Amino acid sequence: MAKFIALNKNIKIFLNYFLGPILFIWLSFSIYNHVIHQPNWYASWQKIKLSLYGPQSFKVIAVIVLMFLNWSIEALKWKIVVKHIEDISFITAFKGILAGVSLAINTPNRIGEYFGRMIYLSEGNRLRAITLTVVGSTSQLIITVIFGIIGLFFLRQNLVDTTNGAIGLSMLWINIIIYGASGIALILLLIYFRLGFLTRLIEKIPFVAKYVYFIQKLEEFEWPELLKVLILSLLRYGVFIIQYVLLLQVFGVEISLLNACLLTFVMFLILAVVPTIALAELGLRGQVGLLLFGLFSNNSLGIVLTASGIWIINLVVPALAGSLFILGKKFFRNK
């Protein structure tokens, strides 16, 4: 038993003092490797840098400032949901969010984000926090689906199969997608605002009983708190839209403000439902952007540059910062 305890202590020392630097090196190399293999990434980066010195440079600076606001809102959301098991400071929540972005960047649909956040919680709370974190993710998905439906509804005439080869879908299929997404949004809302009731039902399932400890905190969520998290998700979504509109203007994509917002609604919905790895998102963002924004503008370069700028500012930069936080993080207490 004494040998096991000593071994366990040695493992924790290794994880605390070596795992962080190893993860930092791997994440940094992985991010760098993926970025340089993106098509035309260097030309895109040069264009983005040049935009910092142009007449609309203040808009690029605004997008960068909004990036901090974006992740600050997400940190506040996470702080609110995990307080049911552990009260953490906003700074700790912010570090956890960026660490999550860093680990999420190499995983399908960013599932690594949950594990990155967990290292900033006490050891005994980490697994339980995963189910709580899903609450915040679900609220963001609800907002994305609802606004995606709005975008599809008002743009459906532009998306149907026409002589200019828009999207290639018939009005029937567009309507099916709208009604289907509306049904999904309604189900998500019902589940979201009835978490306590749903959790109590799940707890009655025999084979789930032994795992109740990990989900029972969901019973504590009341609708005022859930509404607060949903409103924060709406604010964060608004930040995304403003960022995209600003960069479209910077890179000369001449689209009306209304159409720019509606197209971005639809694009975010597509990005939310298509499985991908965050580091591979740039290609997907570029293709979806060209497909949608190309309906109203022939400025293909500006559309791709906007996608590149959002990807670099909102994902790559925070991921690099998050890897630095992981570098100095102790994963376990030495005992």
Name the pLDDT band for 24 (thresholds 50, 70, 90).
low
Say if residues 101 and 116 touch (Cβ distance below 8 Å): yes
DSSP 32-47: HHHHHTSTTHHHHHHH
Q: Distance (Å, rounded) from C-alpha 291 to C-alpha 287?
A: 6
Number of helices and strands (H, E) in the chain? 15, 0
Of 150-154, 183-187, 310-314, the range with the lowest mean pLDDT is 310-314
Question: Judging by beta carbons within 10 Å of its beta carbon (0-12, 13-18, 19+), is residue 179 exposed, middle or buried?
Answer: exposed
Q: What is the mean pLDDT of the chain?
A: 79
Greatest mean pLDDT among 135-149, 183-197, 268-282 lies in 135-149
Residue 316 is predicted with a pLDDT of 84
HSE-up of residue 80 (Cα within 13 Å, Cβ side): 23
Taking only the tens place, the pLDDT of each residue in 193-249 is: 988 777 777 777 776 666 776 777 888 888 899 999 999 999 999 999 999 999 999
> What proportion of the chain, given as a percentage, has pLDDT over 70?
73
Name the pLDDT band for 36 (thresholds 50, 70, 90).
low
Question: Judging by beta carbons within 10 Å of its beta carbon (0-12, 13-18, 19+), is residue 82 exposed, middle or buried?
Answer: buried
Taking only the tens place, the pLDDT of each residue in 83-138 is: 988 899 999 999 989 988 888 776 666 777 777 788 888 877 877 888 888 899 99
Output the pTM of the full model.
0.81
Residue 49 is predicted with a pLDDT of 67
Query: What is the domain partition of the chain in residue ranges?
Result: 13-327
Q: Distance (Å, rounded) from C-alpha 46 to C-alpha 251?
A: 13
